[in-house]
Chain A
Amino acid sequence: MRRKIIAVALATIMILAMVACKKSETVEQGYSPKYSSDTEYKISVVGTYSNFESLESSIERFYAYYPQGEIEYTYLDDYRNSIGHALAGQEAPDIYVVQPWMYGNPQYQDLFDNAEVLSDPELGINLDCIRSGLRWEMEDGNIVTLPVFATSYGMLVNMDIFEKENLEVPKNFGELLETCQKLKAAGYESPMMGANISTTPGIGYAFAYPMFASVVKDGGDIEEGLNNMSPSAGEAMREPLTRLQELVDSGCIDIDKCTAEIEDDYNGVIMRFFQGDVPMMLCSGDVVSGTKKREGTSEDFSARPFKYDFYVAPSGDEGGYYMDSISILFSVNKNSANLDMTNEFMRFLTSEGELGLIAQEKRLITPTKDYSLDEVYGSLADFPEERTISFNDISLLDTAVKQFRAAAYGVTNGQMTVEEAVASYGKLPTD
């Protein structure tokens, strides 16, 4: 009798466990395959990352539904120049990476012309999970790109230092100056650091560009002037450059120290931050994406790990500006030999869960509305709308952005005054 009871109990537990497993699977995925699981396929994805493990993980999850196929990610050398050739070649990729700056450049027009319309209702791709500011509609209203990662500009904050010094992360420029004074008094020579380079993760861009974008967003016609390289449009840079100048002059950041101790705008930034003595490190979201892997390779961080988070730089009097930019997007080659399964893969990918997982693994900002998967970016959730500048809010061309980068670098390094920079808009050397 006792054996019977045990057997019944075990059977019940097994059934319950199976039901529970199945239930949780359904709840977690929310994806149901459109085709038979024995469908054979071969999909190639090409991109700019030499290493794209987070996508490979997603592919593994896709294999759970379609095991009889193969999706291969390939890094293309000299992507800017080779993607066009690849797309026109005999081994054209099925999915390829697109970046916002490519739009409008004739060299890349084929990338958009050859792209499948993902917003086609027949495909059943749920683009609603993407934040509205990041959904990129073409002029005809079609969406041909899927944002995979978002990025932003701001700073990595060593939370342990703030806790140790009993300080709050500053929310506006006034607090920043005050906090920096306290940190300097506590022995932190340069409370803020960053890569003294004119690229997007560089000091000037990371700190001042979101404010510049805000000015552009609120500036009406000024965007057109900026895109047309109109010198008078340079006035839009005055406020952010002045704030940048104030930052440098305040002693919050020691530019010479940054130049000496940070070799480049990626690895150098991360490894210097991991030494553990920098309270705030200016950078971009792309830089943050490299932190997870380097935690293990940094001897300093391995020996003395600390908690860190990403915050927007508190450049404004009311607070910082959250630049909600797109890092990379995927487009589907509409001429793909495996178009159905490629679209099916995109349908699988386009969900809060899957995009969230990829972003979390890559440690970039998810393009979806749910920031909860990666606590490093927790500060960005519920950021005030009025100080958020989304991808769709401005349409600055790459040339205009480069002008600002050059101006910010010049001001940061004392190569020009704010006045000179504003006056030189459109003529600033960018190479």
Chain B
Amino acid sequence: MKRRYIIIINIVIVGLIFCIIVKYSNDRALESNQSSVASFEKMTTTTDQIIANYLEDEQHLCDIWSNYINGSAEAGNPMTVEEAISYIRKAKISPEISGHLIYIDDGSMLGISTSASTTDSSDYSVDYSHISIFENIEISNVSGAVNLTRAYTNPLNGVQSIAFLNNVKVLDVETAAIREALLIRVVPVSRLEQKLVFLKGEYENVEISIIDWDGDYMIHGKSLKNSNFFEYFKSYNPMSTQELNDVIDAIHNDVGSMHISNSKREDSIIAYTPLSGLDSWYLIAYIPANELTANRSIDWLLLLIVSIGLMVLLHFNLIILRGFNRKLAIAAEAANQANEAKSHFLSTMSHDIRTPMNAIIGMNEMILRDSHDKDILMYAESIRAAGNTLLGIINDILDFSKIEAGKMELIEVDYNFVSLLNDLVNMVQRKAEEKGLAFELQVDRNIPTMMHGDEIRIKQVITNILSNAVKYTKKGKIVFSISYSKCEDEQDYIILHVSVKDTGIGIKKEDLDKLFVAFERIDELKNRKIEGTGLGMAIAQSFLKMMDSTVQVESVYGEGSEFFFDLKQKVVKWDPVGEFETAYRRFVSEREEYKVSFVAPGARVLVVDDSEVNLKVFASLLNRTRMQIETADSGDACIELFKRNFYDVIFLDHMMPDKDGIETLREMKACIDTPNLKTPVICLTANAISGMREMYMEAGFDDYLTKPIDTGKLENMLLQYLPPNLIEDDSVTHSILVVNDDVTILRQIKEWLSPIYNVTVVKTEAQAAQYLKNHETDLILIGSDMHLENDFENNQIMRNNIDLTDKDEVITQVKKYFDK
């Protein structure tokens, strides 16, 4: 992992911890705040009780006054206004409090006071006609409950006061009539405010306000601006009319609290409650929000400490990690070097083995093609088998390196199941027979003939399992069975059930796990004479995994094993294979013998290789294509020819002394003075390890072909790169006319040559002449004593100076003729 990712992850973790702490702190703070607000609300309700009690007390004192005055009236001895005021003056204890008595029956709102005017000590008259405090009170009937007004200005001393009211009946001295009057107990607001001083001990900045239904203040907190609380609220807390009405309703009807913005746009809290025992009066307790949320600062401090701690830890970890990273980088460098060494070894081994193998297999191929001596062919066949085995081992190693590098890919093609089976049987049957083992083949006759999949890899998997079975079985038999079942979900697919059962040495239970581990060989000591790399089953398992399958094993140590797996394959042709033997014969008869896929006499090919024998192999393998093949044994020689002659395709070896293929290619690409500017250059190399194709393509080669050369691949590649106009179709079967008077010979020759050529036999020259009038023929085999009447080119006639009774000689001579 890159360092920056580690740092990022650490920062993310620190950030997460930070967030968790913040959230935790916030939650705690929120809880604390909620608790503080709840306490604040509780304080508000307590204050409400105190105020309510105080107001009740004041009203009660007002009622005592009025009861006394009214009692006199009821007793038939009504008091005059002066007498009533005189009584009140005596009854009231506090000099701050005064009593006003005003007439209401004539609407004059005039009367007298217990206290004189501050401006005239002889003036006790009082006038309430310009003071609008009675709008919401039915002043003619205020008995019963606490009756107080909004805060107003005492008209005699200018002090903000509240009034407690009651009705009284007094005697008008002038008219001797009983008049309706209003008794007002006038209490300075400051007196009520003093009752609330105790709150300052608990909340330093609390401000108590009392508002009426409309929001007008009786007591006005310092921070609450405006003369009306609701106006104030609206001014600094913008909201819709509906929202404002909801707030007003809440204050009118509920006990609770809410956050508001004050005139400085600071967060504040108000707790509200209706005043107990009073209609339309409400207590509002205001406090700056930060006074109730002061505890949060402690959490921030804690957060800061934790954050610093985490940052220190992060830096410490980074320093330690940097140390580890340094060591890891050294180890990784060493591992890379080892890996590079391994790659180099694989490359070298692959190259160094494949190079001579190319000569061996290539030359052997030529022997197999050209020789008709049975013994020689048998020896050559043995060489091919051994060569293929050796190549198999190398391929295993290369496959493994590809799998390890993750570069192995499946190549799916349509394949003939019979052919696949035949190759497998051919391979294993002979080996089994050599060891004296019985080989039993059980093939479901209904398996479809043509399927779609990676035939090569499937063959490789089964070959591995079968080879192991033969290798590790000393006596008894090997049963190779294949059956199938249809896929229920997908109509075009079948599941092949493949099983290989042997009576071999078996595998211990504890060794089963090692079976698919690369380079692990079970019972190494016991099996050391058995050849193998220990890669086969690991590779097989890897291939099966790529094909969504897996090989399974059931084994009894000492008795034998069964390897089996299921493989999903797409069906191309549902024709059943039938009896394998019959199908095999049919396949063989239908299979064409090797035949050159094209001829291109006009094509010019240059092949470059430092190995003379490999140059010879290359030229020999392409002999029948009749191309003009030139060779060069070094990079310099190649460049010289490259500049001088035109070629349609160039095959260039990589690993050459002095100047290797890539250097040579680089020079070729840089060369402008050449007729080969557009000539494709194909890398012909024994280096076949994974990643090489990409490397060569990147180096500038047009394509890549490995050694030992596979003739089919080589010819296909040429077909791809040669200009189409140079390709001549060589697939037409040559026609041969055989003229001989010996019917037995004619019959024999026809039998020998018919599989390869169109053979027509005639007994006489006349019949031959007649035939030639209407048909063209490529070759006439005629006895030395016979003559044709018509003119034919001599080179079309092969005199019968060969032994027509010798099959091999006949076939060889005819072949030589056409090869020329």
Contact = CB atoms under 8 A, between A and B. Distances in A.
Contacts of B225: 53, 56-57
Contact of B158 (A51, A70, A91): A91
Nearest to B129: A78
Contacts of B482: none
B343 interface: no
B302 to A, nearest CB: 27
Interface stretch (A82-90, A227-235, A265-273, A415-423): A82-90
Contacts of B133: 77
A82 B119 contact: no
Contacts of A78: 130-131, 153, 155
Interface string B198-230: 000000000000000000000010100111100
B160 interface: yes
Most buried by B among A56, A86, A92: A86
Given A81-B130, A81-B155, A86-B153, A60 B264 contact: yes
A110 B120 CA distance: 13
A137 interface: no
B589 interface: no
B222 A86 contact: no
Interface in A47-91: 50-51, 53, 56-57, 60, 70, 72, 74-78, 80-91
Interface string B258-280: 00000110000000000000000
B152 interface: yes
A267 B638 CA distance: 110
Contacts of A76: 153, 158
Contacts of A74: 160, 220
B805 interface: no
Given A53-B226, A110-B119, A86 B263 contact: no
B157 A89 contact: yes
B158 A87 contact: yes
Contact of B159 (A60, A81, A89): A89
A106 to B, nearest CB: 11
Contacts of A56: 225-226, 263
Contacts of A75: 227
A85 B154 CA distance: 9
B131 A77 contact: yes
A72 B264 CA distance: 17
A82 to B, nearest CB: 5
B533 interface: no
A280 B593 CA distance: 116
B117 A85 contact: yes
B222 A70 contact: yes
A60 B263 contact: yes
Interface string A83-107: 1111111111100000000000000
Contact of B155 (A50, A60, A82, A87): A82
Categorize the interface residue count of chain A.
Answer: 20 to 34
B767 interface: no
Nearest to B132: A77
Interface residues of B, number: 29
Contact of A57 (B228, B231, B263): B263
B190 interface: yes
A82 B263 contact: no
A284 B131 CA distance: 26
A53 B229 CA distance: 12
Contacts of B227: 50-51, 75
A88 B118 contact: yes
B224 to A, nearest CB: 10
B156 interface: yes
B237 to A, nearest CB: 13
B700 to A, nearest CB: 43
B235 interface: yes
B82 interface: no
B520 interface: no
Interface in B142-188: 152-160, 188
Nearest to B225: A56
A57 B265 CA distance: 12
Nearest to B95: A90
A110 B130 CA distance: 21
B630 interface: no
Contacts of A86: 118, 153, 157-159
Nearest to A76: B153
A296 to B, nearest CB: 9
B159 A91 contact: yes
A228 to B, nearest CB: 28
Contacts of A83: 158
A78 B156 CA distance: 11
Interface string B221-255: 01001111001000100000000000000000000
A88 B115 CA distance: 14
B222 A85 contact: no
A60 B225 CA distance: 10
Nearest to A84: B119
Most buried by B among A50, A70, A76: A76
B633 interface: no
B127 interface: yes
A75 B131 CA distance: 12
B119 A85 contact: yes
Contact of B157 (A57, A85, A110): A85
Contacts of B235: 53
B153 A77 contact: yes
A56 B226 CA distance: 8
Contacts of B188: 91
Contacts of A88: 118-119, 157-158
Contacts of A53: 225-226, 235
A219 B593 CA distance: 142
Nearest to A74: B160
Given A86-B159, A89-B157, A91-B158, A81 B118 contact: no
Contacts of B154: 82, 85, 89
A366 B729 CA distance: 112
Contacts of A92: 158
Contacts of B222: 70, 72
Nearest to A88: B118
A76 B130 CA distance: 11
Nearest to B118: A88
A78 B157 CA distance: 12
B159 A90 contact: yes
Nearest to A296: B234
A156 to B, nearest CB: 23
Contact of B226 (A46, A51, A110): A51
Contacts of A84: 118-119, 158
Nearest to A96: B158
Nearest to B190: A91
Nearest to A80: B130
Contacts of B159: 86, 89-91
A77 B154 CA distance: 8
B155 to A, nearest CB: 6
A398 B119 CA distance: 23
Contacts of B119: 84-85, 88, 110
B155 A51 contact: no
Contacts of B263: 56-57, 60
A193 to B, nearest CB: 28
Which 8 A-B pairs have CB atoms at the shortest separation, nearest pair first?
A: A86-B158, A89-B157, A88-B118, A78-B130, A77-B153, A85-B158, A51-B227, A76-B153
13 contacts: A51-B226, A56-B225, A77-B152, A80-B130, A82-B155, A85-B156, A85-B158, A86-B159, A88-B119, A88-B157, A90-B159, A91-B190, A93-B158
Given A76-B153, A84-B119, A87-B158, 14 more contacts: A50-B227, A51-B226, A51-B227, A53-B225, A70-B222, A77-B155, A82-B154, A83-B158, A84-B158, A86-B158, A89-B118, A89-B154, A90-B157, A110-B119
Interface of B: 117-119, 127, 130-133, 152-160, 188, 190, 220, 222, 225-228, 231, 235, 263-264
Interface of A: 46, 50-51, 53, 56-57, 60, 70, 72, 74-78, 80-93, 110
